[in-house]
Amino acid sequence: MRARNKTCSYPRDHHVAVPAISLPTQSGDTGATLKSPAAGSVVDGRDGEPPEQDKSTRREVWQSYSVGSLSFAIPSGSKLGSNEDIRLDNGDDDVPSQQPTGPNRSAYGKGSRQSNLPGLRTSSRKSPYMDTYPINGLIVKKRYYPTTHWMFSLTLTPFAIDWLDDQMRSQERIWQDLMTCKFLVRTIKARRVLLWEQGQYGKQLPTKTLADTLFEAYLRTSESIYRIIHIPTSKRIFTAMYEDLNLISPAHIVQLQLCLAIGACFYDDEFSLRPQALQWIREAEHWLESPGKLRLTVRDIQTMCLLHLARQTAQSQRETQVWASSGALVRAAMSVGLHRDPARLPSMPFLEVEMRRRVWMTIMELVLDSSVDAAGPPMFSLDDFDCSLPLNLNDAELDAINGDVTPHDPAEYTDTSVQIALGRTFSTRLSIAKYANGIKTENSEEETLRLSSKLMDEYRSLAKTLHSLRPSATMPQQRYCDLILSRYIFTLHLPFVPRALKDPTQFSFSRAICVDTALRLVSSSLPSSSSLHDPMVAAMQSVHSPGNHSLDFSRLLMCGSGPFRSVPWQAIMIIAAELAATIRQAHETSPWTSLMPFNQAQTGNRMRCAELLALLREAKKLTRNRVRAGHLDVKDVVYIAVILAGIEAAMDGVPAEPAMDEQGKEILAEAVGIFAEMAGTGTSVWDNPPDLDDEDFGGASEFWSIGFSGMEWDTFT
């Protein structure tokens, strides 16, 4: 695709050798830009030859209190204005910032239209690169994240990053409240640990009535997409377990408890059974690591799959930890031959044949999803296995002794229909994950658009298949598949959005498809109560997500973690950035915005802004409810709340930062009260922040960073 000026916007496809960057230790100079070593200091596999790309590109590193370290690729023709200080309007005229010179320099100086929009800009006053040059990656607490990681979406709102940087540097009330939340989080986590004697499995089982509810919730949600267990067999064991626990093996108890742990995510809006779910996860981890296990079996692999899903729903591990454990999962599966199609193995019962195919496909989905979560390479290819997709059969039909069963028509819904439909898109999604998360190639115009076109073809085919099934796939299944495919759109196109927001002539397709996907995803994610309070939201839900509301899917996004937190977060950041950009565009194109606030001016995009603003307000409610549901990620709601406050202030024609300060204090006071109640402290406010030095944090620097001024955004716990 070409830009409006007929100049190619996307970078050409070529190998890029990136010179090494020595990241500095923490210093008091926030926002410092550090130049990379001279070109040619690192060779790209050639004896002494400097990489060709280094002659035209250099790397710059920018440090932030709130994000971490960002690496930028700067063309050699662009130079820092060492003799110029260009002021950026954010309500503080005393803060100078350097901007790049040359043809790409932004007209954000004094006298530009940006000054009419206090506090909202595409460029950070601390980094002159964020919206101008490609970001190569982020370093957060000594962990490297490429631009496909969900944390990259923070760069879409530079004005909020600047605000948070100021709070971290000043260490005043907002910072103190964040430290208080951190202290309370440790207490909450300790209270969630139930008493348990190792080796005593099944002692924390719920009542039979509650267990039935949780088990059915698991079967109609996760199991209907990721096929792991044989439902008739598991139901028989489940019934027997409640008749006499002593007759059931620990392996079966652990498996069924994991099913209950996943089902607990859908039980209520508060995830009231989170401590029990964490306990069942703990028992499964102990069982899999017990020294008495001499060899792995297919049942153990099934347990590992269930454990993977349970960790995602109960927020028991970071995405990088889940990704690391998924590597052990795929190798364990290969060790028992699940990667080989049963037709190429010695004869086995038909039930085992189909279960092996189902479990292997589930493993591939989990491993691929975890690599996208962590923005890491999948570490496997299509050449590593030859196991085919399962047949379109119901579980009850797998008990045939001789396997003489005819698969159902593809249009007929069965217990494996969704897994098969999703599996047909696997090859394309794997290609995207390898392309986007690889380190040997840069994202090029041709390959990005080719993969995007192929993905959209698969997306349309999947949607058509799910809607044509008879009976049709359930609403949670459709919403879940939409979530899975949407994240690959973000993976491909989100790295281009910061520059597209600044200059509409660049990467307009990436911006448009990300915004469209974000609108659809957020609209379908909101609880049904949202439409009762806001007619605008009701109208958007009817357009972007027609059909019945899915309570299960809403609770998954409310209570789940991993991709169920990160993908909606990316969508929310895109909506916030698009709203800010739309308001800026109105200031540039409407003669009235120089005379009156945006909310009073006659502009052609008022309806568009109203739509985006309504969704952003609902997103704030969603993240607040996630805190009430037991998620300890208070930064999410704080960040969204201050973004919303800044945008609303700009629309009213008043400075943004005072409104952001007030909203930050207000939302943190509420969060401290919620956490204090969960922790059972009996108080909601401390006059002084708790001293965390004794808890091996190394003071504030260790809490917010390790080796640099970076806030640990990937997890708060």
Side chain identity at residue 203, one-letter code: K
Residue 182 structure tokens = 């951190």
Q: Is the pLDDT of residue 124 over 60?
A: yes
* Residue-wise pLDDT tens digits, 411-421: 999 999 999 99
Between 565 and 681, residue with greater pLDDT: 565
Among 35-49, 372-386, 578-592, which stretch is predicted with the lowest mean pLDDT? 35-49
Q: Is the pLDDT of residue 134 over 90?
A: no
Q: Which helix (H) or strand (E) holds 141?
A: none
DSSP label of 562? T
- Which of the given ranges, 15-29, 372-386, 575-589, has the highest pLDDT on average? 372-386
Torsion of CA 487, 488, 489, 495, to 10 degrees: 90
> Concatenated DSSP letters for 600-627?
TS--TTHHHHHHHHHHHHHHHHHHHHHH
Between 9 and 101, residue with greater pLDDT: 9
DSSP label of 384? G
Q: Are 620 and 641 in contact (CB under 8 A)?
A: yes
Taking the CA atoms of the chain, what radius of gyration do you get in angstroms?
Answer: 26
Q: Is the pLDDT of residue 302 over 50?
A: yes
- What average pLDDT does the segment 20-34 reach? 38
The neighbouring-strand residues paired with 138 are: 70, 145
Nearest CA-CA partner of 571 in 633, 506, 629, 524: 524
What is the reported pLDDT for 655?
87
Q: Is the pLDDT of residue 115 over 90?
A: no
Q: Is the pLDDT of residue 613 over 60?
A: yes
515 pLDDT tier (thresholds 50, 70, 90):
very high
Whole-number Å distance between alpha carbons of 679 and 503: 47
- What average pLDDT does the segment 362-375 reach? 94
- What average pLDDT does the segment 579-607 reach? 67
Q: Are 200 and 332 in contact (CB under 8 A)?
A: no
Q: Is the pLDDT of residue 188 over 60?
A: yes
Q: How many CA atoms lie within 13 A of 635 on its CB side?
A: 23
Q: How many CA atoms lie within 13 A of 369 on its CB side?
A: 26
Residue 630 structure tokens = 């037991």
Q: Which helix (H) or strand (E) holds 498?
A: helix 497-502
Among 170-174, 226-230, 635-639, which stretch is predicted with the lowest mean pLDDT? 170-174
Q: Is the pLDDT of residue 70 over 90?
A: no
Between 591 and 238, residue with greater pLDDT: 238
Q: Is the pLDDT of residue 88 over 60?
A: no
* Residue-wise pLDDT tens digits, 254-289: 999 999 999 999 999 999 999 999 999 999 999 998
Whole-number Å distance between alpha carbons of 347 and 450: 42
Burial-class residue 107 by CB neighbours within 10 Å (0-12, 13-18, 19+).
Answer: exposed
DSSP label of 248? S
108 pLDDT tier (thresholds 50, 70, 90):
very low
What is the reported pLDDT for 17?
36
590 pLDDT tier (thresholds 50, 70, 90):
low
Whole-number Å distance between alpha carbons of 585 and 289: 57
What is the reported pLDDT for 405?
82
Percentage of the chain lying above the pLDDT 90 cut: 47
Q: Is the pLDDT of residue 691 over 90?
A: no
653 pLDDT tier (thresholds 50, 70, 90):
confident
Strands lying side by side in the sheet with 57-63: 33-35, 57-63, 69-75, 135-140, 143-145
Between 71 and 684, residue with greater pLDDT: 71
Between 517 and 610, residue with greater pLDDT: 517
Nearest CA-CA partner of 482 in 561, 542, 546, 433: 546
Between 247 and 58, residue with greater pLDDT: 247
Residue 223 structure tokens = 């199991």
- What average pLDDT does the segment 336-346 reach? 95
Q: Is the pLDDT of residue 106 over 90?
A: no
pTM exceeds 0.75 for this model? yes
Nearest CA-CA partner of 611 in 549, 541, 514: 541
CA 403: distance to chain centroid?
Answer: 42
What is the reported pLDDT for 23?
35
What is the reported pLDDT for 328?
92
* Residue-wise pLDDT tens digits, 431-484: 999 999 887 766 777 888 999 999 999 999 999 999 999 998 999 999 999 999
- Which of the given ranges, 274-278, 494-498, 549-553, has the highest pLDDT on average? 274-278
- What average pLDDT does the segment 57-84 reach? 60
Q: Which helix (H) or strand (E) holds 539?
A: helix 535-544
Q: Is the pLDDT of residue 233 over 60?
A: yes
Could you tell me the maximum CA-CA distance found in the chain, to the nearest angstrom? 83
Q: Reduce the DSSP state of residue 14 to 3 states and report it.
A: coil
Nearest CA-CA partner of 662 in 673, 681, 646: 646
Q: Is the pLDDT of residue 692 over 50?
A: no
What is the reported pLDDT for 198?
84
Q: Are strands 33-35 and 100-101 parallel, antiparallel or unpaired?
A: unpaired
What is the reported pLDDT for 33?
41
Q: Are 660 and 163 in contact (CB under 8 A)?
A: yes
- Extract long-range pairs of 657-661: CB within 8 Å, 24+ residues apart: 657/90, 657/91, 657/92, 657/118, 657/119, 657/163, 658/91, 660/119, 660/160, 660/163, 661/163, 661/174
What is the reported pLDDT for 582?
86
Q: Is the pLDDT of residue 316 over 80?
A: no
Q: Is the pLDDT of residue 360 over 90?
A: yes
Q: At what angle do helices 634-651 and 656-679 cross, to 10 degrees?
A: 150
Q: Reduce the DSSP state of residue 124 to 3 states and report it.
A: coil
Other CB atoms closer than 10 Å to residue 449's CB: what's the count? 16
Q: What's the mean pLDDT when you consider all of the chain? A: 78
